[in-house]
Structure 1
Amino acid sequence: MRDPLCSESYLLETIEFDKEEICERKKKIIVLKDDMEKGIQRYPKDNQSIIYATYRGMFMYNTEILIAKYSLGSHPDEMIEDYLNGIEYLENVGEEKVWYIDLLWMLSLGILLEVDKQDLKRLACVIEKQKKEDALMDFLLKACDIGWNHNTSEYERKNPYAKTAEIIQMALHDKDREKASKRLQQYIEKEWVKGHNDLDFKNAHKEPGYVGLWSFEAAALAKILGLDDSALKDNNHYPYDLAHYKNGMSFDLSWYGVPVEEEAKEEEAIVYGIPNKPELEQIIPAKFHSFVNEVIGDYNTLTDEEFWKKYNLREIWFDVKEYEEDNKAKNMLGTIIVFLLVEKEYILQLDYKEDLVDYIEDIDNYWGKEEVKLISFEVDNDQQYYAYVPKTAAIDSLYEVKLTEVEKIEEV
């Protein structure tokens, strides 16, 4: 057992259950493909779309198998076949959206397992098709020397992954691997779990279904950069054994240069104003005006399924039917905007068990020199949502979501 917080019996049961689920879905795909050849359509959704969604489900089960096996203490050799299966499933998800963290874990695992570079190229094609713009992924893919030419300074998920840039810069630009190694340790011990507060990583081990949580990307960075990770050997979120599983893969870092911020370019791209709901300009930073305006327009014009797909609401409503049921009264636009602005990292989401004071520094202030106040968004669930808005903001709701000023905790 590598993660003492896991239950060995539960891990074994989960692995077997997931294997059975994948097997059942393979049978389902065979039937669906046969139906397509015969021109049979049994479901409201077209057969091909169901096949894509089924492959995505298989990938999710497969990812859980990989994590559970590692937590259980399996030798990395036993994970390679499952890993390659995961790539196959990803190659067949079509237009289905795949969670960024799952793709990052897959990429990092490929590096740690030292799979063939042709297989990493296959994964790179999936990442490209998924249109993920992420500086950490770019670094990992370019380091693998497989012809990846994308380059961005943006992050799909800024917190905590933007902090990895400091580790990379210390190792390559400053040429101080000792300092970079200590920064890696800080990232794992102080920032990684906290950076996933919206997913409640901190308390995940207390909930049913826990199979372990591993920062595979941190181990991949340590491997690529040649960092000393000995201080993390017993950390139950750092996959030390995988970081030292093999040492035969070569990396190309000759291309590296300190990323240049794209703030000026971003400023030029901003489209000001929310004509669909102008009063929201009081609480929505200009950077997000165009996005929020588009969301409002789409909510009022697209079908539920079109909207659910476009904004990848699967992480909130796993099935479109769940979304349609909750949205019957067409009174969820404020809630959806909150969820989407959490993804954009304007709004901070905390689990109900968390204390705001522990995360206050993670709330970004997008209002420049304006005096701001902290507000909470009263969404109908067990989560907490916070953001800074101008002190002068005079609206008390975001559609159906009530806004409440929070007592000042500390200076912004």
Structure 2
Amino acid sequence: MTETFMIELFEKHRQDCMDLVQKVLDEVSQSDTHCDISIGLIELEETRKMRDKRCTKEEVEKELFSEIKRVNKCFKNIEEFTKYVEDKRYKDEYDKNDKLSLIDTNHSSIIRRKLDIIRYKYTLGVELSELREEYLVLLDQVDKTSYNFGFRDCSVLALGILFEEGIEKFEKLISIMDRVKKHDLMYDYIVNACGFKRKFYSDVFWDDDFEFMKEVIELAQKDKEQASKKLVYHFKTNWNDSTRPYGNWLWDCAAISKMFKLDDSELKDNPHYPYELAHYKNEMEFMPEKMLDFPKETYKKGIPEYPRLEKLIPAKFHEITNNFLNDYKKLDYDEFCEKYELDWLEPDEYVGQEEDLETFGVNFILFLSDIGYIFQFDKLDDLEEVEFYKKFWGRKKVRPIHFQLNSDCYYIAYVPKSVKLKSIFGVKIEEVKDLKELDQYQEYLGQFDNE
């Protein structure tokens, strides 16, 4: 009996965990293989070697086990919601669309969970061939989801480079990123090097920890030896201490290093550089020289249709905001809704609300969310991402505000501290002293991610 077989038996079976462990024990009792079972995770002691020795096997397995349970829950939800729709048990179209949305969300959630499972398994020392199988399951979900529910797209791309799998699915991920206009320069670098192009390009790094990679890339295009030294120096200086969490593998950096064929031999034992995976396969050719090829983007400052908004909205979004306001005045309402995809209400609910200030205000906030200025989310766990939205203001001192819509979601933006507004187009604006206060508005029901 192989380790892979037993792990797959554990992860894919849908019965109660304890029943599953008993099944595995029954299998093991009929073989000569010695196994150690810890919280239901089966491990062949002689073949496993922790890749990050700063943590214990038990604490990593505990996290891994939790993620496996959540993935299984997502698959179960997908089955239930799919059958619900196929059997036409829905009350109306709204109920049907709600279940279809939950199916989509669960597929996206599986991607996020699988990224964590790969991270934990890599930490535990699991064979790379087994991690590849996990990645293939992840890729299968890409075809079945239409939006990103909390997973880092760049990690999906980077793992695709390292495993040399699923590159053809990158276009789907790119379309998702472009639709929500999500910024991440590391993502753009990898997209360019794979020969793809985005319709929307980033201004900033999603995570400041990756800013050093721009210098590595610039050096690599001129002098790979110096770029290799820069990469090694940065990891040894900034990613080699006990203050960083275990299992935090920088797939992105390893993917870029691989595409440039940098010398990373000194990072074999670094607890954050996935050296073994970076050298797992080397059959594909990439175009790293294209990494920094970005079209020049210019901003037209000013919102003449409503100058008061210039203090509330960063200059990057001025022109598109002004166009939105101008189109609202000039276009037929149906044309306006179609152009800006304002589908938050059912069509018949628009009737009689064309001139309603609050209706326009809600559409305006949703528009600002669509173009990437306002952070829309429905789960407090995603709060860590909101910090990114400060970057649109450069060095200005900013504070978070909350746009109060009659919705299940939060709408957070950062504005300069000097800006004082209580409402905009009928939508109330509330100051947020502490983002953790947001949980007073709603509780996350966890229909698709039952902890």
Query: What's the TM-score bracket when you normalise by the shorter of the two chains?
Result: 0.5 to 0.7
Alignment partner, residue 184 of structure 1: 231
1:154 pairs with 186, 195, 202, which one?
202
Give the letter aligned to residue 76 of structure 2.
Answer: K
Mapping 1:241-390, distance limit 5 Å: 241-246=276-281, 248-253=282-287, 256=290, 259=293, 262=296, 265-268=297-300, 270-272=301-303, 275=306, 278=308, 281-282=310-311, 285-289=314-318, 300-302=361-363, 313-314=376-377, 317=380, 342-343=388-389, 345-346=391-392, 364-365=394-395, 375=397, 377=399
In the alignment, the residues of structure 2 paired with residue 342 and residue 149 of structure 1 have an alpha-carbon distance, to the nearest angstrom, of: 23
Q: 1:110 to 1:191 in 2, by over 3 A?
A: same
TM-score by length of 1: 0.64
Give how far 1:163 is off: 3.9
Cα deviation, 1:309-339, whole Å, max 9, x if unaligned, reads 88553375369xxxxxxxxxxxxxxxx9x98
CA deviation map 1:114-167 (0-9, x unaligned): 33xxx21123323223325655434424534xx524487634635344542322
Deviations 1:200-253 (A, max 9, x none): x99673xxxxx621111111111111112233333222112211223x323233
Question: For 1:228 and 1:177, how far apart are their aligned partners in 2?
Answer: 8
Kindly indicate whether the alpha-carbon contact (under 8 Å) linking 1:98 and 1:130 is maintained by their aligned counterparts in 2.
no
Q: Where does residue 368 of structure 1 map in the other structure?
A: none
Stretch of structure 1 that moved more, 59-68 or 122-131: 122-131
Aligned mates of 1:121, 1:284 — CA distance in 2: 37
Alignment of 1:47-86 (within 5 A): 47-86=99-138
C-alpha change, 1:204 and 1:135, in structure 2 (3 Å) is closer
Closer, same or farther: CA 375–232 of 1 in aligned 2, 3 Å: same
1:163-182 superposed matches below 5 A: 163-172=212-221, 174=222, 176-182=223-229
Quote the residue 2:431 is aligned against: 401
Q: Write out aligned runs for 1:134-145 (5 A).
A: 135-144=185-194
- State the partner residue of 1:40: 89
Q: Against the structure 1 CA distance between its residues 126 and 377, is the aligned structure 2 distance closer, same or farther, given a 3 Å change threshold?
A: closer
The Cα of 1:254 is off from its aligned counterpart by: 7.9
AA matched with 2:113: Y
The answer to whether 1:113 aligns with 2:160 is no
Work out whether 1:236 is the aligned partner of 2:288. no
Sort the Cα spacing of 1:304 and 1:388 in 2 relative to 1 into closer, same or farther, 3 A: closer
**Alignment match, 2:55:** 6
Q: Which is further off, 74-83 or 309-318?
A: 309-318
Q: 1:163 to 1:284 in 2, by over 3 A?
A: farther
Deviates more, 1:308-317 or 1:133-142: 308-317
CA distance 1:249–1:39, shift in 2 (3 Å): same
Whole-angstrom distance in 2 between the partners of 1:281 and 1:51:
39
The unaligned stretches of length 5 or more in structure 1 are 194-200, 206-210, 320-335, 348-363, 366-373, 381-386, 404-412
CA distance in structure 2 between the aligned counterparts of 1:191 and 1:377, rounded to whole angstroms: 29
Deviations 1:73-123 (A, max 9, x none): 2221120111011111122122x3244x621111111211233xxx21123
1:255 CA displacement: 6.0
Q: Secondary structure at the match of 2:399?
A: strand
Whole-Å Cα distance in 1 between the matches of residues 242 and 65 of structure 2?
Answer: 27
Give the whole-Å Cα distance in 2 for the aligned partners of 1:49 and 1:302. 21
Summarize the Cα distance change of 1:30–1:230 in structure 2 as closer, same or farther, 3 Å threshold. Answer: same
Cα offset for 1:53?
1.0
Partner deviation per Cα, 1:169-217 (whole Å, 9 max, x = no partner)? 2112x2x112111222355456789xxxxxxx99673xxxxx6211111
Report if aligned partners of 2:259, 2:288 keep a CA contact under 8 Å in 1: no
Counterpart CA distance in 2 for 1:191 and 1:287 is 32
Question: Could you say which residue in structure 2 is the equivalent of 1:124?
Answer: 171
Q: How far 1:301 moved relative to its partner?
A: 1.8
Taking a change above 3 Å as real, the CA distance of residues 114 and 308 of structure 1, as seen in their structure-2 partners, is same
Judged with a 3 Å threshold, the aligned counterparts in structure 2 of structure 1 residues 291 and 64 are, in CA distance, closer, same or farther, namely farther
Q: Do the aligned residues in 2 keep the contact of 1:160 with 1:191 (CA within 8 Å)?
A: no
Q: Is the 8 A contact 1:378 1:402 kept in 2?
A: yes
Q: CA RMSD in A?
A: 4.5
Name the aligned partner's letter for residue 65 of structure 1. Answer: I
Give, in whole Å, the separation in 2 of the partners of 1:3 and 1:231: 16
Between stretches 162-171 and 218-227, larger displacement belongs to: 162-171
Q: Work out whether residues 157 and 343 of structure 1, in 8 Å CA contact, stay in contact via their aligned partners in 2.
A: no
Q: CA deviation at 1:52?
A: 0.5
Distance 1:255 1:340, change over 3 A: same
> How far 1:70 sits from its partner (Å)?
0.9
Distance 1:188 1:82 in 2: 27
Give the 3 Å change call, closer, same or farther, for CA 402–250 of structure 1 in structure 2.
Answer: closer
| 1:30 and 2:79 aligned | yes
8 Å CA contact retained: 2:375, 2:386: no
Q: Residue in 1 aligned with 2:18?
A: none
Amino acid paired to 1:28: N
Structure 2-normalised TM-score?
A: 0.59
Secondary structure of the residue that 2:277 maps to in structure 1? helix
User: Given the superposition, is the C-alpha separation of residues 91 and 190 from structure 1 closer, same or farther in structure 2, using an over 3 Å criterion?
Assistant: farther
